[in-house]
Amino acid sequence: MEIRNIAIIAHVDHGKTTLVDAMLRQAKALKKEEGERILDSFDLERERGITILAKNTAVVWDGVKVNIVDTPGHADFGGEVERALSLVDGVLLLVDAAEGPMPQTRFVLRKALEAGLKPIVVLNKVDKKEARPDEVLNLTFDLMVELGASEAQLDFPYLYAIGREGRAWRDEPREDLAELFQTILDHVPPPRWTEGPFQLLVANLDHSPYLGRVAVGKVARGRVRKGETVAILKEGNQALAKVAAVYTHQGLERVEVEESLPGDIVALAGVEGAEIGDTLASPEAPEPLPRLAVDEPTVALTLTPNTSPFAGREGKYVTGQKLKERLERELRTNVALQVLEVAPEVFELRGRGELHLAILLETMRREGYEFSVGQPRVLLKDGLEPYELLVVEAPKERFGAVMEALGTRRAEMVHMEGGERVRAEFVLPARALFGFRSLFLSLTGGEGILSHTFHGYGPEAGPIPTRTTGSAVAMEAGVATPYSLHRLQERVQFFIEPGTEVYVGMIVGEHVRENDLEVNVTTAKKLTNIRAAGSDENIRLIPPRKLSLEEALEFLAEDELLEVTPQSLRLRKQVLDPAKRKRLVGK
Which residues carry a binding-site annotation? 13-18, 124-127
- Spatial contact of 186 and 259, defined as CB atoms under 8 Å apart: no
Binding-site positions for GTP: 13-18, 124-127
- Largest separation between any pair of C-alpha atoms in the chain: 96
CA torsion, ordered 30, 31, 37, 40, to nearest 10 deg:
-60
Provide CB contacts within 8 A for 473, sequence distance 6+.
Answer: 505, 506, 507, 508, 516, 517, 518, 519, 573, 578
How many angstroms separate the CA atoms of 399 and 306, rounded?
41
- Spatial contact of 106 and 20, defined as CB atoms under 8 Å apart: no
- Spatial contact of 394 and 444, defined as CB atoms under 8 Å apart: yes
How many angstroms separate the CA atoms of 445 and 78, rounded?
31
CA torsion, ordered 202, 205, 207, 210, to nearest 10 deg:
-10
Provide CB contacts within 8 A for 27, sequence distance 6+.
Answer: 59, 60, 61, 66, 181
For 282, phi then psi, to 5°, come to: -65, 135
Write a three-state SS string for 228-252. Answer: CEEEEECCCCEEEEECCEEEEEEEC
Provide CB contacts within 8 A for 28, sequence distance 6+.
Answer: none
The sign of the dihedral angle between the CA atoms of 157, 250, 9, 205 is: negative
Instruction: Give the pairing type, strands 449-458 and 385-395.
Output: antiparallel
Cβ count near 179 (within 10 Å): 19
What is the three-class DSSP state of 48? helix
What is the three-class DSSP state of 584? helix
Q: Which residues pair with 200 in a beta bridge?
A: 219, 280
DSSP string computed for 8-45? EEESTTSSHHHHHHHHHHHTTSS-GGG-SSTT--SHHH
Which element (helix H / strand E) includes 550? helix 549-555
Which element (helix H / strand E) includes 330? helix 320-331
- Spatial contact of 3 and 58, defined as CB atoms under 8 Å apart: no
